[in-house]
Amino acid sequence: MKRLEQVSLRAFNTFGTEARARRLLQLESLDDVNQLGSGDFRPGFDLVLGGGSNLLFVDDVPGTVYLNRIRGRRLLEDDGDSVLIEAAAGESWHELVCWSLDQGFSGLENLSLIPGLAGAAPMQNIGAYGVELSDLLDSVLVFDWHSGQGLRLASRDCHFSYRDSRFKSGEPERFLILSCRLRLHRTREPVLSYAGLREELDTMGLSAPSAREVSAAVIRLRQRKLPNPELIGNAGSFFKNPRIPTDQAEALQMEHKGLPVHPGDDGQARISAAWMIEQCGWKGYREGDAGVSAQHALVLVNHGTAHGREILALSRRIADSVLERFGVELEREPALFIAADPAAHA
């Protein structure tokens, strides 16, 4: 287990904001995890970190950052059509998607090019272009910080919902996710419910795309539409797309012509947070080094040396203006690290 003291976390988060950790422990194997005990993790004092692509440091980390770098992926079962694969938490998510497609397995193609590591994927039930992790996840292996024991949680025990799970809002910071098992298929109808994805495939001249071709279309779309964190600090969408009752969404659309509304079959519709933020005049806005991407209004950016607190303050003003104009509350998507009073842990 690698151990570093007094570490800058700037290179460990895609916002590229500065924050410091008192200690950083790099977990590289299950043997390293076996050295952890119940009570080793104190919320607001310690932090588990994957690729840092869905996280904003508001404060320094007064305790330990557990950097998850446990690698490994393998095929566990193959019945000729359906397969079960396992990825350790430190595997790059996108590399896992590419590897699965190389093996001839379909299922993950719509989730191509999502930054971060496999261990964080269940946290917010990652999703894009009509597919969510929960559509494919069989189970996860976790270490329970409360009991100090490992346990396997079936998908139904992860309480997945839209960009949420037991790990994110149910029992935050109770579990260290160690690996994910995914059920994929050799033949599977592609999910083409998103108009933008169908249009991209049309442009590519693909009317009956393979999983690999869907992945290529998703990659093209994302590279065109989203700011690249290697060029400008960001954590993807800063807000979730609100779910509101369909009749309320339709009434809002009558009042605000052009508001994109996507009715679901559960009486709830998704409305576009990006559109409302843009209507409030925030797209491309900049204040110091904190700003809103000129490419995508849902993405907050760090132009250089913005502090997490400045980005958070800007996000609150954006949410307030959307609430005032549209009567809709925006919910933040990335996790915040806010230190508990260090004295409380002394």
* Separation between Cα atoms, residue 70 and residue 120, nearest integer Å: 12
Residue 133 binding target from ligand NAP, ligand FAD, none, CB below 5 to 8 Å by type: none
* Separation between Cα atoms, residue 43 and residue 40, nearest integer Å: 10
Task: Please indicate whether residue 169 is annotated as part of the active site.
Answer: no
The residue from 123, 180, 184, 274 that contacts ligand FAD (CB under 6 A) is: 123
Cross-strand partners of 139: 154, 181
Q: Given 73, 91, 106, 163, which residue is catalytic?
A: 163
Which backbone phi and psi does 246 adopt, to 5 degrees? -55, -40
Residue number with CB closer to ligand NAP (73 or 163): 163
The residue from 16, 116, 242, 308 that contacts ligand FAD (CB under 6 A) is: 116
Q: Is 126 in the site for ligand FAD (CB under 6 A)?
A: yes
The residue from 100, 106, 112, 124 that contacts ligand FAD (CB under 6 A) is: 124
* Separation between Cα atoms, residue 29 and residue 42, nearest integer Å: 22
Residue numbers at the binding site for ligand NAP (CB under 6 A)? 127-129, 193-196, 225-226, 236-237, 241, 260, 262, 270, 272, 333
Q: Is 141 in the site for ligand FAD (CB under 6 A)?
A: no
The residue from 16, 44, 62, 115 that contacts ligand FAD (CB under 6 A) is: 115
Task: Please indicate whether residue 139 is annotated as part of the active site.
Answer: no
Task: Please indicate whether residue 237 is annotated as part of the active site.
Answer: yes
* Separation between Cα atoms, residue 109 and residue 223, nearest integer Å: 15
Sign of the alpha-carbon torsion through 308, 276, 164, 169: positive
Q: Is 121 in the site for ligand FAD (CB under 6 A)?
A: yes
Q: Is 233 in the site for ligand FAD (CB under 6 A)?
A: no
CA atoms within 13 A on the CB side of 57: 30
* Separation between Cα atoms, residue 287 and residue 292, nearest integer Å: 9
Active site residues: 163, 237, 333
